[in-house]
Structure 1
Amino acid sequence: MSTRIRIALVVNLFSLIFSTTIVDSNQSTVPLRSFKISENVTYDCIDIYKQPGLNHPLLKTHKIQMKSSISRPELKMQTGKNETSNKKKLECPNGTVPILRNTKGFATNSQIFAEKNFHPLSADSPGMHIAGVRSNGLFRGVQAWFSANALNVGNDQISYSQIYIGSGSGNQVNYISAGWMINPSLYGDQRVWTFGFWKGKNGKGCYNTACSGFVQVSKVIPIVEPSVLKPGVPGWLRYSIHQDKNTGNWWITQLKENAPNEDIGYWPKELFNLLDNGANMVGAGGVVHASPSGSSPPMGNGLLPNGDPQDSGVFTNIEVLNSNYEQHKMDYFPIESLVDSVKCYGLRIGSQKRFRHLGFFFNYGGLGGNECGA
């Protein structure tokens, strides 16, 4: 299979993220407490056993798993890098979890976004571009540190970066991703938001907690959260997606620096039909969606890689779990570079000899523009 065809397949896989209709969770449970982060962002502390994620029809008999059985190593480093989080501290009472309040406006924007603005794209359609790496095999998880950056993204454009796992069979795809995103048409602002996404059985899926499926466990870190970043000053995400040894559920964990890691929550195994024994693909990278006019937004921090890991968007310490839950740097396995628009975006695998402390890493990104092609 040619590189062009493989890139087209990955582009189609990425496009599935935004082809799912998103609905209001209509949470009827009275919150024990609420946190108003900003004018249009409120979190309700909902009883963990009554959270909207459990309303999914495939989870009628699901029993909540409170903690992952996989322990992720604590980060013992002095980097001085800021997490992408709000200054206001969220901490729900014991027995409750923070759920972003889905206003009518958010639900409406979600519908427009999913159904009209960004429909599924074919390999020959303009609109989406990627720059990243992936590995094929059998994996139980992927983790990375990656920068989040304030960008000038149009109201009809999207720019995001993510780690992901997936499996495909015929025309079926199971997929999980997590990272950061700037999406004014969905969120109504230019802020950087964390996100999580899944697609499972029968092509069904969900984005964050806008509909049922994801089980929130952490009382302090929600799956979706805005950040306020200044231009030119990156924040950092340190995420892990991994399959639980005992239950088969797929967890997202925020790896903390010099502090215990935080299991945010998980996507139950019942949601999937192709991920029971791991995923056959893992990857990381940046993705953009152009406006209908064809103008593509910036990716990463808006600059092309030039050899210095601090000068453009970067993924560092990218590691994967193999089928036996053994952890390795991603390049322990064969890796494939994916860049489909070299006019606008670039990818550069870093030198681990020169920057050993970064593990396996790559720089990516670019300014975008009107000449990015299909």
Structure 2
Amino acid sequence: MSTILRMSLVMHLLSLLLSTAIAHSNQRTMPLKSFKIRENVTYDCVDIYNQPDINHPLLKTHKIQIKPSVSRPELKMQTGKNEISNKNEIECPNGTVPILRSTKEFITNSQIFAEKHFHPLSTDSPGTHVAGVRSSGGPFRGVKAYFSGFKLNVGKDQASYGQIYVGSGSGNQVNYISAGWMINPDLFGDQRVWTFGFWKGKDGKGCYNTACPGFVQVSKVVPIVEPNDLKPGVPGYLYYSIHQDKNTGNWWITRFLRNAPSVDIGYWPKELFNLLDNGANIAGVGGVVQASRSGSSPPMGNGNFPNGDRHNSAIFTNIEVLNSNYEQRNMNSFPINYLVDSEKCYRLIVGKRGVFYKYPLGFFFNYGGPGGNSCGV
């Protein structure tokens, strides 16, 4: 082989390696394996100890926690319905975790939305409307709920969420963690239902999912953010919990699956927060929408007002909190507030004792509505 040919091959190989490194530069480490599960949706399996999310300035001395100190109980809740993302589309090799491959635009949008995120401890934000239940009888060590998600027609500059959350506020400072499902075309670039996690911490900043440093992914199978191809009118279900680790103080998100062991997806390290060391002052669940700049609000839940029939609108069931002693209690065991700020467009009905597809509901409510142009500000 001539010297010129050898040099040509070497340069070609270097070019390929460089282009691959650039494509994954936002992950800051070369993936061991990749999964393309949808058009424009690819996950890279990266070393759990070198994942990009631990590059946050507050985590310089953080030691990764592989599993919670106390195992969460396995729940056998067979609803007979679809669970959001309950598919083994991703299974990274041992020692690696799935990180959504993000474009620069997605990373930028995630930071913008985090900055513009509605004030999580109140409804005082232009264009934001809520329908949910919140308890302020803390401190709380966690919150858990089983809830539905639906495909909705949400405009490009609108958003519709279903979430569980914990938080604390002091003056103008807010610490906040939430997780659930969302439809947010400006953020994700499509109309699909995505699972998500969000945090706001001690520096007044935060982020969604793994788009910027903060959240530590631990599960090799279930990522914190994932698209779901739900059909119109057909619900998908999530059973999520957020809880503070009893020994480390980190805040874990756990996914309970039907007929399968629970999955500890990952956690938000305690170092990110300054108001959540000894639990959260509030815990809540519910729906949230963000109106477009024109003032038009999107649908919430499944787009229907609740009418007393628990099957006809979106639902949160089995709503529980962990008290200061890590004891699990129905949320209505504590003083609660019902948050509905625009009854023209969204409503909420708290249910009585009952069952849902043959399974106990615990404390539950139905919520939602069609939205529109007269929801207020």
User: How high is the TM-score relative to the length of structure 1?
Assistant: 0.89
The residue number in structure 1 matching 2:349 is 348
1:363 maps to a residue whose letter is N
C-alpha contact 1:45 1:99 (8 A) present in aligned 2: yes
The residue number in structure 2 matching 1:175 is 176
The residue number in structure 2 matching 1:293 is 294
256-265 or 72-81, larger mean C-alpha shift: 72-81
The residue number in structure 2 matching 1:80 is 80
C-alpha contact 2:48 2:97 (8 A) present in aligned 1: yes
- Give the CA deviation at 1:123: 6.6
Deviations 1:301-360 (A, max 9, x none): 000011111110100001110000000111111111000000000011011157681100
- Give the CA deviation at 1:77: 3.0
In the alignment, is residue 280 of structure 1 matched against residue 301 of structure 2? no
The residue number in structure 2 matching 1:364 is 367
SS at match of 1:221: coil
- Give the CA deviation at 1:283: 0.1
1:142 maps to a residue whose letter is V
Q: Once the two structures are aligned, what percentage of the paired residues are identical?
A: 77
Distance 1:270 1:25, change over 3 A: farther
SS at match of 2:141: strand
Instruction: Please give the residue correspondences for 1:182-221 in structure 2 after superposition, counting only pairs within 5 Å.
Output: 182-221=183-222
Instruction: Please give the residue correspondences for 1:261-276 in structure 2 after superposition, counting only pairs within 5 Å.
Output: 261-276=262-277
Paired residues in the alignment total 349
The residue number in structure 2 matching 1:41 is 41
Deviations 1:63-101 (A, max 9, x none): 111001232222223311211117561000000000001
2:363 maps to a residue whose letter is F
Distance 1:113 1:272, change over 3 A: closer
Unaligned 5+ residue runs, structure 2?
Answer: 1-23
The residue number in structure 1 matching 2:59 is 59
Distance 1:219 1:124 in 2: 38
Instruction: Please give the residue correspondences for 1:316-331 in structure 2 after superposition, counting only pairs within 5 Å.
Output: 316-331=317-332
SS at match of 2:289: strand
Distance 1:83 1:182 in 2: 17
What is the aligned-residue RMSD (CA, Å)? 1.9
- Give the CA deviation at 1:258: 2.1
- Give the CA deviation at 1:291: 0.6
C-alpha contact 1:25 1:211 (8 A) present in aligned 2: no
The residue number in structure 1 matching 2:131 is 131
1:149 maps to a residue whose letter is F
The residue number in structure 2 matching 1:304 is 305
SS at match of 1:165: strand
In the alignment, is residue 233 of structure 1 matched against residue 234 of structure 2? yes
C-alpha contact 2:110 2:208 (8 A) present in aligned 1: no
Distance 1:125 1:337 in 2: 17
Distance 1:325 1:293, change over 3 A: same
2:337 maps to a residue whose letter is E
C-alpha contact 2:161 2:180 (8 A) present in aligned 1: yes
Distance 1:120 1:165, change over 3 A: closer
- Give the CA deviation at 1:25: 8.0
Distance 1:25 1:120 in 2: 31
- Give the CA deviation at 1:108: 4.4
Distance 1:50 1:354, change over 3 A: closer
Unaligned 5+ residue runs, structure 1?
Answer: 1-23
